[in-house]
Structure formats: C-alpha cells, structure tokens
Structure 1
C-alpha cells in the first residue's frame, strides 16, 4: 500500500507557480486536481482518493481547482456562491435567495458570466471604435499640421519675395527721387549762372561808363565837356532786373512726408494682414477654449483682489498682439501718463507684461505709478479678453 502511494505521487507533476497546489502535500507540493467546497481545500490525485471511496465524502462538492476558496464561499451561510443577484450585482448562495435576496432577480453564475462576457465584448468593441476614431483624429491633426506647415512655408517664401521686391522698389524710387532732386538743383544752378553772367557783363559796361563819366567830370575844357556830354549821356543798353530773381527750389519735406505716409499705410496694412492670420480658427483652435477660459478665470481672480505688480500680468500672445495693434495709443498713453515702461517676457504662447517706473523716481512714488499703470493695463486686458468680436483674439 505504501509503495503504491509513493508510486502514485512519483507519477504526478509538481505544481507550477501559476497553478493551484495540493494543500495536503509536503514539499514539493503537487498540482491540485480538484477543490472541495466543503473541505475548503484543494487535493492532488492521490489525496483526492478518499473523496471517491469514502462514504462520508459523498455529499462533498468537488470543482475544478481554485485558489483562495474562501473567496467563493458565502461569508454569511458558509455555502458556495452559485448564483448572481442582478438586483444588487453580487454573487450569492442558495440560502441568500431565501433571505436577503428573496424577491430579487437571481440567475445562475454561468448565465451572469455569459451576459457580462457579452457586455464586456460590446464595451470593448465600443472602446476599440473610440480608439480608431481618435487615431484617425490624430492622423488628421498630423496631416493638417503638415499641410499647414507647407502652406506656412509657401507664405513665408512669398512674403520674402514680396518684401524683397518692395525693398527693391523703395530703393529704386529713392534713387529716382534723388536724381529728380539733383536735376532740379542743377537746373536752378544753371539758371542762376546765366543770370550771374549776364549781370556781370552789364556791371562791366556800367563800370566802363562810370569811368568815362568821372573822367569827363574832371575836365576843365568847356568845349570838350559839351562836345562829349551827349555821347556819354546815352543810356547803356541794360535789362530791367527788378522783376527778375532766382527762386531757391522748394522741397518742404516732400520726401519725408511721402515716406511717413508710405510707412503709415504699410504699417496699417501689415497690422490688418497679421490680424487676418490670427482670425484663422485653424491656428487658434488649440487655445481658443482652454487658454481664454483660463485667462478669464485668472483675470476675474486678479480683479477681485489687489493685483500683484511684481508678478506681472500673464496673458496669451494673441491677446498681447491685439492690445499692441488695436490699442497701441492706449498703451502709449499709459506709459506717458504714469512714466512707466511695459516690458513683455515671452514664453511659448504666454506673455507676462511687467510694469516698471522710469528711473529717477523715489521708491514710494515709483510703486504708486507702477500700481496705477498696472491697474490701467489690467482694465485694458479685461476689455480685450471679454470682447467676443475682437479680431484675432481667441473666444472662450
């Protein structure tokens, strides 16, 4: 008998780490063949033999080997959990259906298992669909970025060509303007030289006549004076210069006026172009909701308490651009009125604008000026953020 027992053990395999081992084997523990819901133990083939032969074990229920048998037993009735209560979503034993879950909807574990498996399959299919949809969105986003990059590169190349042509045109116009001014100056010089030459000739004639008159006035010979007086007294053929003059060329800042007008026009057109670019929702979609909402919340918090001048005013770059372009005069007025400078510090899409008083102010006076200027800037920022029609500003 003992030899037969030893031989049966020898023919069985030891339990692997992920397998249920026999609770009655000494080391090495053998692989369990069945678990008993009455004994709450697992048995290898050899130690399971009494359950097959003994009369006392006939009512014991054997199941496939399970680890932690206590987890599949009802803690209240000490019976195996064989049913599932759909009302309370818990596993129950047969006795539970006659007490706490008497009027509840109860099904077998297999039916509940199959239902949950089907539900899991459906949920997994939905999850897989969402994964595919999001991967498609990622692909579309990357494709959009690539297309946007190509469009941006083309636009930059075109802008380089346009501005190069514009600079060339300005340089060419500058040369032409200088040539016109120089030609006008040469014409004035030539006209003046002609007048000067003619005047010098008349001066020579007049000086000669003056010499003859002085010589005749000094003679003591009466006859000679009278005989020569008439020829000498004949007027010299000269021009009336009273209405003749050389007028200096008048430019009155023509070039400066034209350049100022050109600069102003170009600046306005560039501002309009830049704002048109910021109107594109494809560019601002990434920050349209989160950035503006966050900045609005930050702004509300700052307006409810004394703002921190030292910390500066944080905002999105598009807001700062809108302020500098649309409210440039207001910003200039703030700087002039309070004698401060506005110093933006850029970090990715964020800008922190710091207010600093001009040098020479005392500490108390500087703090006061900075505080007043900061509040004025904060009010202007509030106007930009809360405006839903501001061009180029992301809406919340």
Structure 2
C-alpha cells in the first residue's frame, strides 16, 4: 500500500510538471503572438501618422512656393508703381519715352486665376490603414492557427470503424479506415449497437479522459457528418444530431453548405472547401474543435461541453445520391505539420 501511494504521488508530481511545461509553452506562444500584434498596430499607427503629415507637408511646400512667387511679383509691381510715379513727374519728354520702353519690357506677371491651395484629402486614409492592419492580423492569426494545429496533432490516436455499429447500407473497408454508402442493404443482425435508420457508424475506440485527435479525408463528397458521440447515443430510428442528443458534429450539405449541428444549426462561412478535416477533443476542457487541415484553419469549436461518459468518433458518409456522393470518408494517418 505504501508503494502504491508513492507511485501515485510520483505520478501526480509528474502531471504537475507536465502541466507547468504546457502552461509555460502556452504563455511563451501567447506573448510572442501578442507582441507581434502590438508591433503591427504600432507600425500601422506610425505609418498612418506619417502619411497624413507627409500630405500636409507637401501642401505647405506648395503654398510656400506660391506665396514666394506672389511676394516677388508684389515687390516687382511696387517697384514699377514707384518708377511710374516718378516718371509722371519727369519734365524731359525724351527721358520719359526711354523709361516707358524699359517699363513696358518688364517680366509679365503670372495669371493667378484659378490657382488655389486645396487642403489635402484624408478620406479613406484611416480605412486603408485599418484594412492593411487587418491583413497583417490575418497573417498573424494564420501563424497562430498553424501552431495550434501542430499542437493538437500531438494528440493523434489510431481510429478504426466498428462494423457492429454500421448501418446495413454502409460499406466498410477491410482495414476499417473507409466508409461509404452502398445501394444494397446487407442482411446484418440488428444488435443494440447498430444504427438502423441514420447512415452512421462509430469508431471502435472510445475515450473518457484526456485529449484525442484524428483526421478524415472528405474529398469528392457533397454531403457528410463528422464529430464525436457519447456511447449511449440513440442508434434506433430517426436521430437528431445535436449536443442535447449526445453528439457534437459538423456537416456538409449541397456540396458547399457547412453547418455546426449545435441545436439549432450554425451556418459556417469557410474561405475554402476542406479536403481533410481534423477533429480534436479535450475531454476535461469540454472542447470539440474541427480544423481544415490543409488550410490550417479552425472550422468550428463546441466549447463548455459537459462530458460524463465515453465518447466515440462519429462518421456518416450520408446517402450516395445516385453516385454523386459515392466517395468514401477516409480516416487518414496524421502527418504532423511543419
């Protein structure tokens, strides 16, 4: 009994050490990301101020040039005015004629009609700066998601399909890694584990603690459901795939309509069509997240979930729709991102 207590104490201490390492890593990554974001904001602000001040400087320089020309012309006109006034008092006609010719050949003044110094327009300057900042933030967010995906991939598990749970119309590969909908209903025993209405199948593996992650290829399909389900999920008759009924899933409908089946459904706007979906679960945290693996993008997360029993990976290739949705769902080996 003493030895058991010592082993338990050692395991607890080791768990705390691992937890501290995870926390330190999260803090370091978080500080790095927020430092980069802070620098981006400060740089964008500095560029905005410089742009506005540079426009103002050019306006002032233009005005200074105009003012200098006007001052020169005013000075020249005053000088001519003085000379004309002096000539008007002259009594020598010959001198008056010679001086008049000199005045008449003086440099002409500029036509200032329509010349204005217009204040610079700053309309759109802030908006463009914010758009540029948004683009920078998007790049930083992508880097963050790449780091996040790489981390959750460390929790990869081997998943295989359980034929005892598969709907009779489903066709499973011999290695238990692929499933698709067939045209012929197989004559299978209707055991309590088998889905008899929804074209679904569970994995053999179940999880009641910790973290796990797996990836599924969905390329070529126009309809599918993926996620996790609790072991006691109803397998008979019509099923409403929602957390209230014991499943946390996302789905594709009509080739490009993605939804989180959250009860009610949440429409998802994705930048690209995922070809491979990663599913990550943190049991204690109550988290189920879905990733577009190739794009390293988060698709959706169920948060604040309350898990009280075993969870199984859940798959539904849906009906093959006359061959339009005949491609299989394929459980893929996880290639850790660089």
Q: State the structure with bigger RCO (CA 8 A, min sep 6), 1 or 2.
A: 2
Q: Which is helix-richer, 1 or 2?
A: 1
Shorter-chain TM-score above 0.5: no
TM-score, structure 2 as length reference: 0.41
TM-score w.r.t. length of structure 1 = 0.36
